[in-house]
Amino acid sequence: MAFPVTRMRRLRRTPQLRAMVRETRLTPSNLMMPIFLVAGKGIKKEISSLPGLYHLSSDMAVEEAKQIHDLGIPSVLLFAIPDSKDTQGSASWQDDGVVQQTVRAIKEQIPQLMVCTDLCFCEYTSHGHCGIIHNNDVDNDATLKITAQQALSHARAGADIIAPSGMMDGVVTTMRSALDENGFQDAVIMSYAAKFASGFYGPFREAVQSTPEFGDRRSYQMDPANGHEALREVALDIEEGADIVMVKPALAYLDIIHAVREKYQMPLAAYNVSGEYAMIKAAAAKGWIDGRRVMLETLLSIKRAGTDIIISYFSKEFAELYRKGAVEG
Ligand code: PBG
């Protein structure tokens, strides 16, 4: 029955009524926190393009991981800048590489924390592309071969979840069979299934020095205009055996997140990427927006769209507020 019988404002009158009918709730258990690793010892250096985030050496990363775990965040996502880069990104599959060492150290000291590794080559290649270059483009199948090596090195180190982010065709099949053949049946694959060629990765590329030396990533990452293609990408990764599928970036792609949620019964992750973080931080620093409020609203929107796991640079900040009771729940 319409007005005056139905009054939508009736349930908005008090904080308690609002809490009773709140449809979406965000808790630290929804979040995954990225960590940026560098070689060395005792290093903790703020990343200029990502205020509040740091380049950490392995020992410092373990301390950071402890804090993250204590805040109730169940998982971390590891990235690294290697000491040396080459055309193949060979530093990415060394058993004593920065990522591999850190996975081992975290699993030794905080075994309950789920460790996810980003599997890609752009941080490790001298040209900054996500694989092996032939004729000025990334060679898909040649890249798959070294992908298997990198996946195995992460699994040997003890990674719980491996997340291929290079958008190579067949990457999930390649990883699944390499992992299974080597006794890593339990290693989870979280595929960057629908990853768009996005301007929102700018601050990340500065943080890991992975801006391509020539060209761009449009021959492997998706055209931002394409929603149906995103669903096909997700379908393929499910068929290939992905355990969790991801949409990236999040904010400009909430429609894609929602469509994937409606269509597939799969655990769904979304990456609230560096540019999304930087925009809020920058506007808040200028005093143009209330940074805390906009952060909460942003994370909530990603969850409401249908996400199970949100990878966000805000994870720690959110969890700290949550612990203080400053998040409406
Ligand atoms: C590696 C990778 C990227 C991001 C995550 N993994 C960068 C890229 O594709 O250029 C971006 C994350 C962010 O912007 O926060 N391929």
**Looking at this protein, which amino acid is placed at residue 286?**
K
CB of 274 within 6 A of ligand 1: the answer is: yes
pLDDT at position 251, please?
98
Ligand 1 pocket test, candidate residues 204, 210, 248, 253, most atoms within 8 A of CB: 204
Describe the crossing of helices 228-240 and 171-181 by its angle, rounded to 10 degrees.
10
Closest CA to ligand 1's atom 11 = 201
Q: Tokens at residue 324, please?
A: 């203080």
Report the DSSP beta bridge partners of residue 36.
Answer: 55, 79
**Looking at this protein, which amino acid is placed at residue 196?**
F
Which residue do the tokens 């929102």 mark? 200
CB of 121 within 6 A of ligand 1: the answer is: no
Question: Which ligand 1 atom is at minimum distance from the Cα of 200?
Answer: 14
Tell me whether the omega of the peptide bond preceding residue 203 falls within 30 degrees of 0, making it cis. no
CB of 122 within 6 A of ligand 1: the answer is: yes
Pairing type for strands 133-134 and 137-138 reads: antiparallel
C-alpha dist (Å) from residue 287 to 48, 281, 316: 19, 10, 22
CB of 184 within 6 A of ligand 1: the answer is: no
CATH homologous superfamily of 25-323 equals Aldolase class I (3.20.20.70)
CB of 246 within 6 A of ligand 1: the answer is: no
The beta strands (E) that lie in the chain are given as 31-38, 44-47, 50-56, 75-81, 114-119, 133-134, 137-138, 161-164, 188-195, 244-248, 268-272, 309-312
Ligand 1 pocket test, candidate residues 49, 123, 124, 165, most atoms within 8 A of CB: 165
Catalytic residue among 85, 107, 248, 316: 248
Closest CA to 61 of 20, 87, 33, 82: 33
User: In whole angstroms, how large is the CA radius of gyration of the chain?
Assistant: 20
Contact between residue 252 and residue 200 where contact means Cβ atoms under 8 Å apart: yes
The burial of 183, by beta-carbon neighbours within 10 Å (0-12 exposed, 13-18 middle, 19 or more buried), is given as: exposed
Among this protein's residues, is 45 annotated catalytic?
no
Among this protein's residues, is 66 annotated catalytic?
no
pLDDT digit string (tens) for 190-245?
999 999 999 999 999 988 888 898 999 999 999 999 999 999 999 999 999 999 99
Q: What is the mean pLDDT of each run of 10 residues along the chain (329 residues)?
A: 97 97 97 97 96 97 98 98 93 96 98 97 93 93 96 98 97 98 98 98 91 91 98 98 98 98 98 98 98 98 98 98 92
Pairing type for strands 75-81 and 133-134 reads: unpaired
**Looking at this protein, which amino acid is placed at residue 235?**
A
pLDDT at position 329, please?
75
Helix, strand, coil % in the chain, rounded to nearest 5: 45, 20, 35
Question: Element (H or E) spanning 60, and its range?
Answer: helix 58-70
The secondary structure of residue 223, as a DSSP letter, is: P
pLDDT at position 209, please?
85
Q: Tokens at residue 86, please?
A: 């080459």
